C-alpha cells in the first residue's frame, strides 16, 4: 500500500494553537485528509503525555492507536471513518536556545521515540533541564547536539529531524540564528542525523542546490497548529506503517538518481514503473506547498509592507527602504547564500515530490467565495463523503473517477493546480504568500 504520514503537529498545549487540537480531532482530521500516520507532537508536556497514555495503546509496531475502551466525544468525521485505524507516532518539537561559537542559536528539532517507555525516560531527563509545562513545544537552553545525545541515550531507535531548516528565526540553517551546516550544529553526532524537514517555504529542488545536503532525506510536514490544516505538506510511504519501517525508509531516502523525470499526477502513476514494489517499506516522496505560499519565501518587512526578492534585497544592502533597519531575509535568499549549484541536482537520497494547494483553497478559488465561507465547507465535506479523503482527491484519484461527484469548476481548478498553472504571490517576513488559480479582473 501507499500511505501518507504527517510527522509534525502541535497539540492545544503549544502556544498559539487551536483549542480543538486534541487527539480525537487530530485523528478525525487525519482520516478526512487520508493520513494514516500522524505525529502526537508535544509529548514532553505532562498533561498531553497523560492524555496520550490514557487514550492510546501501542499497536505492536511502535505506533499507537486509540484504546478499544476509548470513548469518542463528537467525532466530526463522516461515519465511515474509524478513528481506531489512524496511527500515532510519538514525537515532540524542542526549541533549543543557546550560545555556541559566540552567537545565540535558536533551533527547532523534532524528536521521535519508538515506544511509551523511551518517551518517559527521555522526558524524565529533560525535566532536569527546564520547564516542560509552560509550552507543548518547550524552550530549553539545551545545545542541539546534547539534545540528540539525550534522545539516543533514552533509546537507540530514537531519531532527530531538524525542523523547517530554512526558517530565519528558529532553524538549523536559518539566516538569523542558525548554522551553516549540519556538522557545525551536531558535531561528533552528525552521523545520526539522516533527514531534514524542508518547511513550507522551501521545496526539494531549492534544497538540492546545496551539495552539503545531498546525504539527507528531505521530509515535509504540516507543522499545523490546527487539526483542519493537517497534511498541507505530507510524506508518502509504501509498505506497512510501523515505527521501524518509517525510520528505515526515511534513513534510506527515495530511490535517488534512478528517479523517473517529470512525474505527474496522479501520485500513483509512478506505480506502473518496473522497479516499483508497493509492499516494500520505502519513502516515495512528499506532497509540497508551492514554496511561494510559505511565510518566509522572499525577504522584507511585514510592518513596512516591503517585500523584496533576493536580488532586490542585495541592491538595498539588506536594509529596509522604508525604516532603514535590517530586512528579514527569507528562505529563497538563504538558499542562494548556502547553495553551490545554479540548478538542483538529484542526490542518492532524492525522492519524488508533488506540489499542491489545500482543497479548501482550490474550492474557494473555483467558486469565487472566501475560504472560511459556509459554501466552501459544504462543498468540501460533500466531496470528502462522496469521493474520499482530501489527499487522495488532490493527488491520487484520476479526474474521471471524480467527475459528477464535485462541481465541474472545482475539478477544473484542481487540474490547474496539478499541472502547475497557478499565479504566485510570494510570502515574506511572516506573511503567508498566496496562490491564485484565476487572474483577477484588471
Q: Which stretch binds Zn ion (CB under 5 A): 12-20, 161-169, 226-234, 362-370?
A: 161-169
C-beta closer to Zn ion: residue 239 or 426: 426
Sign of CA dihedral 210, 229, 238, 94: positive
Distance in angstroms (rounded) separating the CA atoms of residues 111 and 126: 12
In eight-state DSSP terms, residue 48 is: H
**Rounded to an integer, what distance in angstroms lies between the CA atom of residue 319 and that of residue 329?**
10
Minimum separation from the CB atom of position 226 to Zn ion (A)? 15
Torsion of CA 231, 232, 238, 242, to 10 degrees: -30
Minimal distance, residue 354 CB to Zn ion, in Å: 24
Q: Is 89 helix (H, G, I), strand (E, B) or coil?
A: strand
Options 322, 371, 398, 425; binder of Zn ion; rule CB under 5 A: 322
Cβ closer to Zn ion: 108 or 232?
108
Which of 111, 213, 287, 320 lies at the binding interface for Zn ion (CB under 5 A)? Answer: 320
The interface region with Zn ion, picked from 35-43, 148-156, 297-305, 346-354 by CB under 5 A, is 297-305
Out of 5, 30, 142, 163, the residue judged to bind Zn ion by CB under 5 A: 163
Beta bridge partners of 35: 4
Q: Can you tell me the distance from the alpha carbon of 212 to that of 229, in angstroms, rounded to the nearest whole number?
A: 32
Q: Which DSSP string corresponds to 247-304?
A: HHHHHH-S-GGGPPSS--SSGGGGGGSTT--TTS-EEEEEEE--GGGSTTSBEEETTT
Binder of Zn ion out of 129, 152, 270, 304 (CB under 5 A): 304
Least Å distance, CB 316 to Zn ion, is 10
Determine contact, residues 414/360, Cβ cutoff 8 Å: no
Direct distance between the N- and C-terminal alpha carbons of the chain, in angstroms, rounded to an integer: 47
Cβ atoms of residues 342 and 249 within 8 Å: no
Q: From the CB of 301, what's the least distance to Zn ion, in Å?
A: 3
- Peptide bond before residue 266 is cis, with ω within 30 degrees of 0: yes
Find the helix or strand (DSSP H, E) in which 26 lies.
Answer: helix 23-33
Q: Which is nearer to Zn ion, 145 or 301 (CB)?
A: 301
Q: For Zn ion, which stretch binds (CB under 5 A), given 71-79, 107-115, 150-158, 362-370?
A: 107-115
Residue 301 binding Zn ion, by CB under 5 A:
yes
Size of the site for Zn ion (CB under 5 A): 7
Nearest to 380 by CA among 401, 400, 362, 399: 362
Least gap, CB of 311 to Zn ion (angstroms): 18
> Closer to Zn ion at the Cβ: 139 or 304?
304
Q: Which of residues 167-206 bind Zn ion (CB under 5 A)?
A: none
Which positions from 376 through 405 interact with Zn ion, judged by CB under 5 A?
Answer: none
Could you tell me how far CA 271 lies from the centroid of its own chain? Answer: 24
Contact between 323 and Zn ion per CB under 5 A: yes
Smallest Cα–Cα separation from 75: which of 22, 4, 35? 22
* Interface residue with Zn ion, options 108, 295, 297, 349 (CB under 5 A): 108
Strand partners, 158: none
Q: Which is nearer to Zn ion, 195 or 406 (CB)?
A: 195
Binding of Zn ion by 165 (CB under 5 A): no
Shortest reach from residue 128's CB to Zn ion, in Å: 23
Question: For residues 163 and 351, which CB has a smaller minimum distance to Zn ion in the complex?
Answer: 163
Query: Is the Cβ of residue 145 or residue 295 nearer to Zn ion in the bound state?
Result: 295
CA distances from 391 to 2, 281, 376, 388, 411 (A): 12, 20, 17, 9, 14
Provide the b/e sequence for 422-440 (b: ≥16 CB within 10 Å).
Answer: beeebbbbebbbbbebeee
Window 409-438: residues binding Zn ion (CB under 5 A): none
CB of 167 to Zn ion, least distance (A): 7
Q: Which stretch binds Zn ion (CB under 5 A): 142-150, 163-171, 201-209, 365-373?
A: 163-171
CB of 111 to Zn ion, least distance (A): 12
319 binds Zn ion (CB under 5 A): no
Q: Which range in 25-33, 242-250, 298-306, 331-339 contacts Zn ion by CB under 5 A?
A: 298-306
Q: Which is nearer to Zn ion, 301 or 416 (CB)?
A: 301
Q: Which three cell numbers stand for residue 305?
A: 509592507
Please, which residue, 46 or 321, has the CB nearer to Zn ion?
Answer: 321
Q: Rule CB under 5 A: which residues touch Zn ion?
A: 108, 163, 301, 304, 320, 322-323
Amino acid at each position: 500500500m501507499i500511505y501518507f504520514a504527517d510527522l509534525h503537529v502541535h497539540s492545544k498545549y503549544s502556544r498559539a494553537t487551536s483549542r480543538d487540537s486534541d487527539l480525537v480531532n487530530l485523528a478525525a482530521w487525519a482520516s478526512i485528509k487520508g493520513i494514516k500516520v500522524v505525529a502526537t507532537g508535544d509529548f514532553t508536556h505532562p498533561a498531553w503525555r497523560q492524555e496520550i497514555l490514557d487514550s492510546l495503546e501501542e499497536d505492536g509496531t511502535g505506533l499507537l492507536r486509540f484504546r478499544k475502551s476509548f470513548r469518542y466525544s463528537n467525532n466530526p468525521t463522516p461515519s465511515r471513518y474509524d478513528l481506531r485505524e489512524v496511527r500515532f507516532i510519538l514525537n515532540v518539537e524542542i526549541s533549543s536556545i543557546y550560545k555556541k561559537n559566540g552567537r545565540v542559536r535558536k533551533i527547532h528539532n523534532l524528536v521521535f521515540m519508538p515506544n511509551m517507555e523511551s518517551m518517559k525516560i527521555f522526558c524524565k531527563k529533560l525535566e532536569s533541564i527546564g520547564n516542560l509545562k509552560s509550552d507543548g513545544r518547550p524552550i530549553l537552553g539545551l545545545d542541539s547536539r546534547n539534545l540528540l545525545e539525550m534522545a539516543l541515550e533514552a533509546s537507540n531507535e530514537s531519531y532527530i529531524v531538524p525542523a523547517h531548516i530554512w526558517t530565519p528565526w528558529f532553524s538549523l540553517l536559518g539566516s538569523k540564528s542558525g548554522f551553516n551546516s549540519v556538522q557545525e550544529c551536531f558535531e561528533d553526532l552528525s552521523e545520526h542525523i539522516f533527514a531534514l524537514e524542508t518547511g513550507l517555504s522551501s521545496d526539494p529542488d531549492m534544497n538540492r542546490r546545496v551539495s552539503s545536503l545531498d546525504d539527507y532525506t528531505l521530509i515535509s510536514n504540516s507543522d499545523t497548529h490546527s487539526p483542519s490544516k493537517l497534511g498541507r505538506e505530507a510524506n508518502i510511504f509504501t509498505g506497512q506503517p510501523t515505527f521501524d519501517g518509517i525510520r528505515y525508509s526515511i534513513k534510506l531516502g527515495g530511490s535517488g538518481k534512478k528517479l523517473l523525470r517529470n512525474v505527474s499526477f496522479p501520485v500513483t502513476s509512478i506505480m506502473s514503473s518496473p522497479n516499483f514494489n508497493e509492499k516494500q517499506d520505502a519513502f516515495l516522496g512528499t506532497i509540497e506547498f508551492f514554496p511561494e505560499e510559505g511565510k518566509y519565501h522572499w525577504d522584507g518587512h511585514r510592518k513596512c509592507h516591503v517585500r523584496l526578492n533576493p536580488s532586490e534585497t542585495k541592491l538595498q544592502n539588506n536594509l529596509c527602504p522604508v525604516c532603514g533597519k535590517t530586512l528579514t531575509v527569507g528562505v529563497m535568499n538563504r538558499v542562494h547564500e548556502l547553495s553551490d549549484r545554479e540548478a538542483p541536482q538529484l542526490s542518492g537520497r532524492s525522492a519524488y515530490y508533488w506540489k499542491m494547494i489545500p482543497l479548501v483553497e482550490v474550492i474557494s478559488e473555483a467558486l469565487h467565495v472566501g475560504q472560511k465561507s459556509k459554501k466552501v465547507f459544504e462543498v468540501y465535506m460533500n466531496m470528502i463523503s462522496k469521493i474520499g479523503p482530501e489527499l487522495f482527491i488532490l493527488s491520487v484519484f484520476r479526474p474521471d473517477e471524480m467527475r459528477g461527484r464535485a462541481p465541474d469548476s472545482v475539478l477544473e481548478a484542481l487540474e490547474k493546480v496539478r499541472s502547475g498553472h497557478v499565479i504566485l504571490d510570494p510570502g515574506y517576513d511572516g506573511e503567508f504568500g498566496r496562490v491564485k488559480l484565476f487572474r483577477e479582473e484588471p
